[in-house]
Amino acid sequence: MYLKVKNKKIEIKELKTFSERFKSLKFDLYKNELCLFFPKKKKLSTYFFCQRVDACFTDKNNNILYLHSNIKSEKRIIHLKAKNLYILPLDTADKLIIGDKLNIIEK
C-alpha cells in the first residue's frame, strides 16, 4: 500500500503485532521514510523516538480528524474519536488538510 501526498508516494507499513507496535520508531536513528499505520489506535507516545515525526489520526473511513506536525520525543497524544493512527515522515502533515480523505493506493 502507498499513501499519495501531492505528487509523492510514501510506502505504508502496517504494524499489527504487539512487538511491532511497541518498537515502531523507538531507538531508530535513521530518518523515517515510511508511513507507519496503526489500526485501531487512539494514542501516540513518542518516548524514545530519536527523531521528529508527523502524526495523522483518522476515522474508520480514513477521513482526517487530527493532524500534528513536527512532534518531538517524549510526548503523548490522545484522541478518543480517532480509529486509526498514521505516523508520517517529517513535513508531510503540512500538505494534508483536516476533513479530507487520505489517498491510499493499493499495489
Contact 73, 101 (CB under 8 A): no
CATH code for the domain of 37: 2.60.120.1140
User: What is the span of the domain harbouring residue 8?
Assistant: 2-105
| pTM for the predicted model, two decimal places | 0.91
CA distance 92 to 50: 18
Number of domains in the chain: 1
**pLDDT tens figures, 48-81:** 998 999 999 999 999 999 999 999 999 999 999 9
Q: pLDDT class for 107, splitting at 50, 70, 90?
A: confident
CA distance 64 to 23: 25
